[in-house]
Amino acid sequence: MPAISLVICLYKECDLLERLLKHADGCYDDLVVVHDGPEFDKDVPPPVTVPPREMAIDYAECPSDTPPPSFYKTPPLLIPSPGTQELVLRHGGRYFEGIRCYQQEPHWPFAWWQAKHDWILRLDADEYPSTELKQWLRNFRSSAEPPSGVSGYTGLWPLWNGKRAVIGKWPDGRNFLFHRWRIRFTGVVEMVPQPESHFEPLPFALEHVPRRKSFGYRNLLLRKQAYRWRHIVAASLLGSPKLLPRWRWQTDTWPEPFNQIVEHPYRYMFKCLFRYPFSALRTLLKHRLYGVLYSFPGSHWHHALICWEYIRLKRKRN
C-alpha cells in the first residue's frame, strides 16, 4: 500500500495551513512543512533575484541520513507559540525554516528529500482536497501500489472569484500527487514537477481558496508578488537550471515553455499576447464558464511579461 508524505512550503499562512490540515485529515502518513524564511523575524530581507548559489543542490543525490544544510533550521519552539511550528508539531509533522526566497519552489527539493515516503502530496497552504478528492486519497493509501509507468496524478483546480469557486471541468491538469523518483524538477517559481512517463488525470477538484481572487487583471498588473515572480523567472533563465535547488535534474536545458523563452523570446511573447489567449477563450466557452470570460488572457499575458523581463535583463547584462 502506498504511503504519502504531505509537503507544504509557505510564508506566514498559519491560519490557511490549519484549514488545510483539517480538510486533509486521513489523507497522508507524514507531514513536512518548510517556511520561506523565519516566521517571526522583524528584519525583512531584501528581495532576491535568484536563490543563493549555496542552495544549488540536487537533493536526490544526497543520502537520506545526511544532516540538513546549515541554511535549513528547526528553531527552538517558543512557549506559548501560536505560530506555524507549533501547529505542525501538534499534527505530528516536522518543521524547517529556510532562506527567504520569496517563492516556495526552491524549497521543494529539500522538503521532498526530508519526506519519509516516495509519494508526495504537493499542496499550497491556500488549497485543500475536496470531499471527493479526500475520499480518493484515503482509498489510494489502502490500495495496491500504482504501476511504475504512473508518475503522478492531476486534478481540477477551480477558479476562485473571491467568494466562491467557479465550478467546472477547467482548469485541469493541476499536479498534486507524484512519486518523487519518477519526476524531475528545478526550483524556480512557476516550475512544476516534470514526469518521467505521465500523470494520470482525475475528475476531482483541489479546492483553491486564497484570501483574494485567483484570477483577473489585479493579479496580473497590481500585485507586487507578480512582478517579483516574473523578475525571478527571467533572471533564473539567464543561467542554467543546475544553478538552482533541484531534484534529479542533470541537464542545462530548461523544460517547456521556459525553453521557448530562452530560445525564441520574441516569438513566444507574440504567441502569448495574441495566439494562446484566444485558445483559452475557446476553452472557457466550451466549458460554459461565461462568468470568467474576462480572465482568458491572464496566464498567457503573464508569460508574455516574463518574456519581456527576460529580454530586458539579457540586454542589460550584454
User: 209: closest CA among 175, 159, 170?
Assistant: 159
Amino acid occupying residue 197: S
Contacts of residue 182, defined as CB under 8 A and 6 or more positions apart, other chains included, come to 148, 150, 151, 152, 195, 196, 197
Beta bridge partners of 127: 208
Asked if residue 72 lies in contact with residue 38, where contact means CB atoms within 8 angstroms, the answer is no
The Cα 174–Cα 137 span in angstroms is 15
pTM of this structure: 0.93
Say if residues 213 and 162 touch (Cβ distance below 8 Å).
yes
- The whole-number mean pLDDT for each consecutive block of 10 residues of the chain, a chain of 318 residues, reads 96 96 97 94 72 95 94 83 90 96 96 98 97 97 95 91 75 93 96 96 94 75 86 96 97 95 96 83 72 67 94 92
Tell me the three state secondary structure of residue 15.
helix
Q: Are the C-beta atoms of residues 85 and 77 closer than 8 Å to each other?
A: yes
3-state class (DSSP) for residue 155: strand
Q: Look at residue 92 in the predicted model and tell me its pLDDT.
A: 96
The cell for 313 is 535583463
115: CB partners within 8 A, 6+ apart: 5, 7, 30, 32, 180
